[in-house]
Chain A
Amino acid sequence: MDENVSTSVRQRSSQLLRRIFAFREASVLVSIIAVMLILSILSPYFMTKANLTTTALGFAADGIIAIGMTIVLIIGGIDLGVGSVMALSMVTVGGLTTIYHLNIWLAVVTAVALSLLCGLFNGFLIGRVKLTPLIATLGMMSMARGGAYVITKGSPFSMSGVPPAFRFLGSGSIFGIPTFVVIFIVMIIIADYLLRRSAPLRNLYYTGSNEKAAELSGINVARVKLFVYVTCALLSGIAGILTVSRFNVTAPNSGMGSELRVISACVIGGASLTGGEGTVLGSILGIILLNFINNGLVLMRVSVYWQDLVSGAILIAVVTLDLVSHRKKAS
């Protein structure tokens, strides 16, 4: 009798576990915890508040961009321009304030407007003209980066006399947590919740899962695309502004390679390059996993040159594991 009860409990809990692990987020979370455990054993410094906050600050910008990239991937698109748009927005803020001595907030508004424009351009080309996202955003990647070089004539410049209110965004802190990280966390929570629950945002999944079907059901696919690319560019721009505020320096080559880092993270977190799948939570967990591992490599004094190699290996390992485990379940 007792045995029966305990087996049924065990069965039920194993069922529950299996249900939970059907979500990619759960396996990524477990990987993160494992990495954290290992690192805290290997390095006493890892679990300190100082290290964790620095690491979080380090990936906050990528994390904000990842929110945008997630929705782009959900509709089956891709945005290679995020890093460049981020850089463009950074040098806009820097350039307008240092060269033209514009009020910093006006500069910020201009940077946001410029990012919005980049997004509208992408969204128009992809949604209305029906250019493939890869090509449209590849073009944007070059154009925005080029714009950043034009504005700065190629060299980085640092800003002076920045008002404290602006500095607070990127380098202040709230209850001991960097403001940048707080903003980032608030954004994730809102975005994740909206994406799960909001009715109009469900159209993103419909579009990515079967664009034709979405269209036949009266969903305005072109508008969905416009929304997604605009949001993604805006978030990239905002990430840029916050980064300026953090470092007080702007360089035209900032955000180099962030598009691929972010895409990797989203894919690790369950987004699919063919659309229809992905969550903000998953993508952020992907970002955290990659950054913790890089942080671990640094702490263990492994040469930085190893970072890319390891990140690539993790991407392939996670996605392969997921594929294999799902295949087993199917048969």
Chain B
Amino acid sequence: MNNDNNEVMLKVENITKRFPGTLALNEVSFEVKRGEVHAVVGENGAGKSTLMNIISGLLEPDEGRIVFMGGEVRFLNPREAQDAGIGFVHQELSLCPHLKVSENIFMGRLPHLKNTFVNRKRLKEMTDYFLEKFQADFAADDVVKNLTVAQQQIIEIAKALALDCKLLILDEPTSSITENETKVLFGIINEIKRQGMSILYISHRMEEIFQVCDSVTVIRDGCLINTLRTAGVTSDQVVRMMVGRNIENMYPPKSSGISDVILKVEGLKSKDVFKDISFSLRKGEILGFYGLVGAGRTEVMRALCGIDPCDNKVIEFRGDRVENNAYRRSIDRGIVYITEDRKSQGLFLKMSVENNISAAMIENIRTDFRIDRDKESALCGRYVGELGIKIASEKQKVDSLSGGNQQKVMIGKWLATYPKVLIMDEPTRGIDVGSKSEIHKMLRKLSEEGVGVIVISSELPEIIGLADRVIVMHEGTITGELSGDDIKEENIIIYASNFKTSSRAANE
């Protein structure tokens, strides 16, 4: 790797940005060299996305200046930044669901013939080039709304690469893709880096940062803490700079005692999605679900709660057979599911933090027929405190919160229903290291208090560190169950890719 290249690609000088009630960035300055992968880290709400939005012309800084490729720039809109060579993969997906993969990748810059007509052949060729690069399992002509979140994330990355840019900004690109796709992405990052492109890489996963990044800039509460070469620091040191204190032990201790079965599921089946799903959940344990994309974990949980219909299910909750399980009944019973897709399924973005937290159990804040403002604000205050949500006011609209804080608001909303079985789909997606360990601790605490906890995660370390027992799924069936010391990366991967059965199938 060629790192002694000292040409500066991007220089950010004394950038300050204020939002009503928040000083999001306070005189931040740093430099990105040509051909360098530069990480930007910080807690949720530290100002990383805001900084990137300023660099890419989406927001205007209140003060400070940006020098890109030797000249001062002041982009008025994203288009200008793109034309100058800055590509951006946003933290939140921004695709057009009704359109094809190819049309999304080349959104705003479709290849066309001399007249105005779309050059469909070229469009398909160009798209296939990117899909091949990612070894994607979908086609150029697929309509985006039929794809999974992970597949959409890949389109999002391809879209930025297709810009042929000089500086690529990746805001948490791996938060919803699997290990395999992450590896592919890293391969691509290394390749474009050799071609002299610079990359700004935002992630909450320290392993990734130390794996692909050359330097790291740490931001805390909108202030620049330091810029360092990754070779010279350890992950612990970076985390300490981020949060300003020591983070002890990442994962909480495992279960102290497992007792009776709370929830028992037998023969859950939905045609073409999953079949023969049987498992039980005991008091005091955290049950992990792992699988590759398309393994059907989310679908199983949704059917279990009664959100989606399924063909066959036998569910016992605390020893009683569950008959009617419309989702509202499930919630009242205490079985709740927290979605992996907070933006489109988990939050009321245009409503306040307060309104969101009380949304799932309006009973909590009712006095007779009235909504009791005091109760609502007390409820909100309680979960904002418990989860450490960073907000300017309880009346703030959720869509102006940073990604990680939105995630916490969603968790708060469900905790406020006092669940007995808590099913969390990717609970720490987009959450910073410190809060992540707090959420893990909170899950452990809930489980010790007798709440049944199921965690779906695509992050192996999380599953290994958190779960007492792991169920692994592959293409809609359960392929293995691990507990105690057997919960190891190798074992999980074997089940998740189902090597055993596939080798048997090959022999037949």
Stretch in A86-94, A165-173, A201-209 with 4+ CB within 8 Å of B? A201-209
Q: Return chain A residues, CB-CB under 8 Å to B107.
A: 206, 213-214, 217, 219
Instruction: Report whether A276 and B98 are in contact in the complex, using a CB–CB cutoff of 8 Å.
Output: yes
Distance between Cα atoms of A206 and B58 in the complex (Å): 19
Distance between Cα atoms of A328 and B98 in the complex (Å): 19
Instruction: Report whether A277 and B95 are in contact in the complex, using a CB–CB cutoff of 8 Å.
Output: no
Instruction: Report whether B117 and A219 are in contact in the complex, using a CB–CB cutoff of 8 Å.
Output: no
Q: Which of A191-216 contact B (CB under 8 A)?
A: 194, 197-203, 205-206, 208-210, 212-216
Query: B121 in the interface, Cβ–Cβ < 8 Å?
Result: no
- A205-B96 contact given A199-B112, A216-B88, A218-B78, CB 8 Å threshold: yes
Query: A331 in the interface, Cβ–Cβ < 8 Å?
Result: yes
Q: Among B83, B90, B94, which residue has the most Cβ atoms of chain A within 10 A?
A: B94
Q: Which of A194, A202, A276 contacts B110 (CB 8 A)?
A: A202
Q: Return chain B residues, CB-CB under 8 Å to A205.
A: 96, 98-99, 103
Query: B82 in the interface, Cβ–Cβ < 8 Å?
Result: yes
Instruction: Report whether B116 and A206 are in contact in the complex, using a CB–CB cutoff of 8 Å.
Output: no
Distance between Cα atoms of A205 and B83 in the complex (Å): 22
Residue-wise, chain B 101-137 has the 8 Å CB interface mask toward A (1 for contact) of 0010001111110001110000000000000000000
Q: Which of B82, B88, B108, B117 contacts A214 (CB 8 A)?
A: B108
Instruction: Report whether A206 and B99 are in contact in the complex, using a CB–CB cutoff of 8 Å.
Output: yes
Instruction: Report whether B96 and A218 are in contact in the complex, using a CB–CB cutoff of 8 Å.
Output: no
Instruction: Report whether A209 and B96 are in contact in the complex, using a CB–CB cutoff of 8 Å.
Output: yes
Q: Return chain B residues, CB-CB under 8 Å to A213.
A: 94-96, 107
Query: B97 in the interface, Cβ–Cβ < 8 Å?
Result: yes
Q: Return chain B residues, CB-CB under 8 Å to A200.
A: 116
Distance between Cα atoms of A224 and B58 in the complex (Å): 19
Instruction: Report whether B110 and A216 are in contact in the complex, using a CB–CB cutoff of 8 Å.
Output: no
Instruction: Report whether A198 and B97 are in contact in the complex, using a CB–CB cutoff of 8 Å.
Output: no
Closest Cβ neighbor of B77 among chain A residues:
A218
Q: Among B83, B88, B112, which residue has the most Cβ atoms of chain A within 10 A?
A: B112
Q: Return chain B residues, CB-CB under 8 Å to A276.
A: 96-99
Q: Which of B90, B98, B116, B271 contacts A216 (CB 8 A)?
A: B90
Distance between Cα atoms of A213 and B107 in the complex (Å): 9
Minimum CB–CB distance from A331 to chain B (whole Å) comes to: 7
Distance between Cα atoms of A198 and B112 in the complex (Å): 8
Residue-wise, chain A 249-284 has the 8 Å CB interface mask toward B (1 for contact) of 000000000000000000000000000110000000
Instruction: Report whether A217 and B116 are in contact in the complex, using a CB–CB cutoff of 8 Å.
Output: no
Chain B interface residue bracket vs A: 20 to 34
- A199-B117 contact given A206-B107, A214-B108, A218-B108, CB 8 Å threshold: yes
Q: Which of A199, A208, A214, A215 contacts B116 (CB 8 A)?
A: A199
Instruction: Report whether A210 and B117 are in contact in the complex, using a CB–CB cutoff of 8 Å.
Output: no
Distance between Cα atoms of A220 and B95 in the complex (Å): 16
Q: Return chain B residues, CB-CB under 8 Å to A215.
A: 78
Query: B79 in the interface, Cβ–Cβ < 8 Å?
Result: yes
Q: Which of B78, B97, B108 contacts A210 (CB 8 A)?
A: B97
Instruction: Report whether A199 and B96 are in contact in the complex, using a CB–CB cutoff of 8 Å.
Output: no
Q: Return chain B residues, CB-CB under 8 Å to A218.
A: 77-79, 82-83, 108-109
Distance between Cα atoms of A116 and B218 in the complex (Å): 54
Q: Return chain B residues, CB-CB under 8 Å to A198.
A: 116-118
Minimum CB–CB distance from A189 to chain B (whole Å) comes to: 15
Residue-wise, chain B 240-277 has the 8 Å CB interface mask toward A (1 for contact) of 00000000000000000000000000000011100000
Q: Return chain A residues, CB-CB under 8 Å to B58.
A: 216
- A210-B94 contact given A199-B110, A216-B58, CB 8 Å threshold: yes
Q: Which of A202, A203, A208, A210 contacts B95 (CB 8 A)?
A: A210
Minimum CB–CB distance from B92 to chain A (whole Å) comes to: 9
Overall SS of chain B's interface: loop
Closest Cβ neighbor of B58 among chain A residues:
A216
Q: Which of A197, A201, A214 contacts B96 (CB 8 A)?
A: A214
Closest Cβ neighbor of B146 among chain A residues:
A330
Instruction: Report whether B96 and A206 are in contact in the complex, using a CB–CB cutoff of 8 Å.
Output: yes
Q: Return chain B residues, CB-CB under 8 Å to A201.
A: 116
Q: Which of B88, B90, B108, B309 contacts A206 (CB 8 A)?
A: B108
Distance between Cα atoms of A200 and B116 in the complex (Å): 7
Distance between Cα atoms of A220 and B78 in the complex (Å): 10
Closest Cβ neighbor of A202 among chain B residues:
B110
Q: Return chain A residues, CB-CB under 8 Å to B83.
A: 218
Residue-wise, chain A 120-164 has the 8 Å CB interface mask toward B (1 for contact) of 000000000000000000000000000000000000000000000
Q: Which of A194, A208, A216 contacts B94 (CB 8 A)?
A: A216
Q: Return chain A residues, CB-CB under 8 Å to B118.
A: 197-199, 202
Minimum CB–CB distance from A213 to chain B (whole Å) comes to: 4
Minimum CB–CB distance from B433 to chain A (whole Å) comes to: 28
Closest Cβ neighbor of A278 among chain B residues:
B98
Instruction: Report whether B117 and A197 are in contact in the complex, using a CB–CB cutoff of 8 Å.
Output: yes
Q: Return chain A residues, CB-CB under 8 Å to B116.
A: 194, 198-201
Q: Return chain A residues, CB-CB under 8 Å to B96.
A: 205-206, 209-210, 213-214, 276
Instruction: Report whether B78 and A217 are in contact in the complex, using a CB–CB cutoff of 8 Å.
Output: yes
Q: Which of A212, A214, A219, A331 contacts B271 (CB 8 A)?
A: A331
Instruction: Report whether B108 and A209 are in contact in the complex, using a CB–CB cutoff of 8 Å.
Output: no
Distance between Cα atoms of A209 and B79 in the complex (Å): 19
Distance between Cα atoms of A247 and B96 in the complex (Å): 45
Distance between Cα atoms of A277 and B271 in the complex (Å): 29
Distance between Cα atoms of A187 and B58 in the complex (Å): 39
Distance between Cα atoms of A200 and B83 in the complex (Å): 18
Closest Cβ neighbor of B116 among chain A residues:
A198
Minimum CB–CB distance from B162 to chain A (whole Å) comes to: 11
Distance between Cα atoms of A219 and B77 in the complex (Å): 10
Closest Cβ neighbor of B270 among chain A residues:
A331
Q: Return chain A residues, CB-CB under 8 Å to B272.
A: 331
Q: Return chain A residues, CB-CB under 8 Å to B90.
A: 216
Distance between Cα atoms of A257 and B430 in the complex (Å): 50
Distance between Cα atoms of A218 and B112 in the complex (Å): 17
Distance between Cα atoms of A220 and B80 in the complex (Å): 12
Minimum CB–CB distance from A101 to chain B (whole Å) comes to: 42
Instruction: Report whether B117 and A217 are in contact in the complex, using a CB–CB cutoff of 8 Å.
Output: no
Q: Which of B108, B111, B309 contacts A217 (CB 8 A)?
A: B108
Minimum CB–CB distance from B52 to chain A (whole Å) comes to: 12
Minimum CB–CB distance from A196 to chain B (whole Å) comes to: 9
Distance between Cα atoms of A194 and B117 in the complex (Å): 8
Q: Return chain B residues, CB-CB under 8 Å to A331.
A: 270-272, 309
Distance between Cα atoms of A213 and B105 in the complex (Å): 11
Closest Cβ neighbor of B97 among chain A residues:
A209
Closest Cβ neighbor of B310 among chain A residues:
A331
Instruction: Report whether A209 and B117 are in contact in the complex, using a CB–CB cutoff of 8 Å.
Output: no
Q: Which of B60-88 contact A (CB under 8 A)?
A: 77-79, 82-83, 88
Distance between Cα atoms of A30 and B164 in the complex (Å): 46
Q: Which A-B residue pairs are the 10 nearest by beta carbons?
A: A218-B79, A209-B96, A276-B98, A217-B108, A213-B94, A199-B112, A217-B107, A209-B98, A199-B110, A198-B116
Q: A209-B99, A215-B78 are in contact. List 8 more A-B contacts (CB 8 A).
A: A198-B116, A208-B98, A213-B94, A214-B96, A217-B159, A219-B107, A276-B96, A276-B99
Binding site for A on B (CB under 8 A): 58, 77-79, 82-83, 88, 90, 94-99, 103, 107-112, 116-118, 159, 270-272, 309
A-B contact pairs, 28 of them (CB 8 A): A197-B118, A199-B116, A200-B116, A202-B118, A206-B108, A208-B98, A209-B96, A209-B97, A209-B98, A210-B96, A210-B97, A213-B107, A214-B107, A214-B108, A216-B78, A217-B108, A217-B159, A218-B77, A218-B78, A218-B79, A218-B82, A218-B83, A218-B108, A219-B108, A276-B98, A277-B98, A331-B270, A331-B272
